[in-house]
């Protein structure tokens, strides 16, 4: 590839202020995602006092809390964390689609980056796999994506 001017984000979280918004529904899974996110940010230089955790009832409530936090102007980035598991509800598709669209809309409307740490799985087993076992930890992955996005947007 020819050498071209490239803008990319450094994975250094020092000095940032981050809000995590996590749903209580399926908390056995979501708590593992929160743990993965906290661990990622702290290992990348974030001071614990600059990390705030907000709890909401379920994934459906994530967009509204993300919007208020984004509008407050207090945070460089937000990470939404939750788990929607098919079978737990007949309205899986509605909750999943509203939560996903809602979170994306908040980020685009406010310009505040939001890490998408919301699992949508067919089974509890698939959720467990993505919450710190054989398929990694989606909370940590979304934290990495958020940090990179914050740092790249600063330069655009
Ligand atoms: N909320 C979730 O976060 N995950 C789910 O799997 C889920 N299911 O299965 O229903 C869920 N429902 C609750 C929803 O997010 C709202 O909290 C509720 O409808 C009240 O507004």
Ligand 1 centre to CA of 26 (Å) is: 9
Convert the pLDDT of each residue in 128-150 to its tens digit: 999 999 889 999 999 999 999 99
Paired residues of 133 in beta bridges: 136
Q: What sign for the dihedral angle of Cα 127, 104, 23, 44?
A: positive
Q: How many helices (H) and strands (E) does the chain have?
A: 5, 6
pLDDT at 89: 64
Cα 47 from Cα 45, distance rounded (Å): 6
- Let me know: does 8 contact 147? Beta carbons within 8 Å: no
Mean pLDDT score, 94-103: 96
Pocket test for ligand 1, best of 89, 90, 116, 117 (most atoms within 8 A of CB): 89
Convert the pLDDT of each residue in 44-67 to its tens digit: 999 999 999 999 999 999 999 999
Cα 32 from Cα 81, distance rounded (Å): 10
pLDDT at 52: 98
For the chain, percent helix, then strand, then coil, each to nearest 5?
50, 20, 30
To the query of whether residue 91 is one of the catalytic residues in this protein, the response is yes
Mean pLDDT score, 78-84: 98
pLDDT higher than threshold 90 for residue 40: yes
Please state which architecture CATH assigns to domain 18-153: 3-Layer(aba) Sandwich (3.40)
Q: Determine which residue's CA is closest to atom 17 belonging to ligand 1.
A: 58
Cα 59 from Cα 48, distance rounded (Å): 25
β-strands 136-137, 51-56 pairing: unpaired
Convert the pLDDT of each residue in 21-35 to its tens digit: 999 999 999 999 999
Angle at 70 between CA 142 and CA 41, to 5 degrees: 35
Against a cut of 0.85, is the pTM above it?
yes
Confidence class for position 1, pLDDT limits 50, 70, 90: low
Mean pLDDT score, 117-123: 96
């Amino acid at each position: 590839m020819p050498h071209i001017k490239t803008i990319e984000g450094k994975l250094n979280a020092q000095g940032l202020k981050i809000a995590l918004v996590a749903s209580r529904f399926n908390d056995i899974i979501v708590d593992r995602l929160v743990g993965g996110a906290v661990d990622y940010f702290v290992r990348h230089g974030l001071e614990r006092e600059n990390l705030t955790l907000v709890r909401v009832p379920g994934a459906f409530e994530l967009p509204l809390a993300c919007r208020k936090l984004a509008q407050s102007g207090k945070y460089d980035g937000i990470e939404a964390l939750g788990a929607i598991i098919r079978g737990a509800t007949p309205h899986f598709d509605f909750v999943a689609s509203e939560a996903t669209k809602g979170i994306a809309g908040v980020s685009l409307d406010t310009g505040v980056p939001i890490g998408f740490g919301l699992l949508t799985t067919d089974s509890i087993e698939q959720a467990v796999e993505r919450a710190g076992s054989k398929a990694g930890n989606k909370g940590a992955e979304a934290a990495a994506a958020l940090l990179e996005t914050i740092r790249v947007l600063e330069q655009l």
